[in-house]
Amino acid sequence: MRKFSAGVGVAVVASGLGLAAPGPASATSYCGIAWGSLAKADPDMSQASVTNVRTGQQACYDRLVVDLAGKVAGYSVQYVPEVVQDGSGLPVPLLGDADLKVTVTAPSYDNEGRPTYAPADATALSNVSGYQTFRQVAYAGSFEGYTTLGLGVRARLPFRVFTLDGPDGGSRLVVDVAHHW
């Protein structure tokens, strides 16, 4: 009987220390976010044009918004080794440990070639100092109906992409990047 009691005692102590059979893995994600970090795209072409780029901070993620005159129909957002300028292929240096390339199938100019979005500083479209995830937002150009932005982020973190209707028949492309996994 003494051997049985000692065996039970060892089993109780081992399970209390997590040495016995493991419990279920925690499925809790950061802020309920389950987005992932793989490329997200919609291949449609748009008749819209880019009019503005802005950013904001949320409790669980940083947000990039691309405003368009018209309905956004297509985009591609993905982590890349390096963002390059549209047309020239020259690298766009970005701060942070990961580069997110945001391409909207909408130009930054109208049908007559006049700019609809012309940033004052292509290397800093929005002041993101103090953001938890974003390190830099840069303009990589607009060429043949596509506009590309470079988003420097702290690390390769999960993100989501979606579109919203905007005022006056416009729309918005939204990219949220989580603060943590």
What pLDDT shows up at residue 13?
40
What pLDDT shows up at residue 26?
43
Tokens 């945001």 sit at which residue? 102
Q: Is residue 66 part of a domain?
A: yes
Q: Is residue 20 part of a domain?
A: no
Q: Is residue 4 part of a domain?
A: no
Sequence-distant (6+) residues with CB within 8 A of 66 are 50, 52, 53, 72, 102, 104, 147, 149, 172, 173, 174, 175
Q: Is residue 8 part of a domain?
A: no
Global pTM value? 0.83
Is the pLDDT at 18 greater than 50? The verdict is: no
Chain centroid offset of residue 89 CA: 22
What pLDDT shows up at residue 21?
43
Q: Is residue 9 part of a domain?
A: no
Question: pLDDT, tens digit, for every residue of 40-97?
Answer: 999 887 789 999 999 999 999 999 999 999 998 899 999 999 999 988 999 999 999 9
Q: Could you tell me the residue range of the domain that residue 110 belongs to?
A: 33-178
Question: pLDDT, tens digit, for every residue of 94-150?
Answer: 999 999 999 999 999 999 999 999 999 999 999 999 999 999 999 999 999 999 999
What is residue 149's three-state secondary structure? strand
| Gap between the Cα atoms of 175 and 70, Å rounded | 18
Q: Is residue 12 part of a domain?
A: no
Token pair for 94: 């970005």
Letter for the amino acid at 61? Y
Is the pLDDT at 2 greater than 70? The verdict is: no
* 136: CATH: 2.60.40.3500
Q: Is residue 23 part of a domain?
A: no
Q: Is residue 1 part of a domain?
A: no
Is the pLDDT at 15 greater than 70? The verdict is: no
What pLDDT shows up at residue 11?
44
Q: Measured at the alpha carbon of residue 36, what is the angle toward residues 31 and 42, in degrees to the nearest 5?
A: 120
Task: Please count the structural domains in the chain.
Answer: 1
43 DSSP β-pair partners = 74
What pLDDT shows up at residue 28?
57
Q: What is the mean pLDDT of residues 149-160?
A: 98
The number of residues in the chain equals 181
Closest CA to 33 of 72, 4, 5, 60: 60
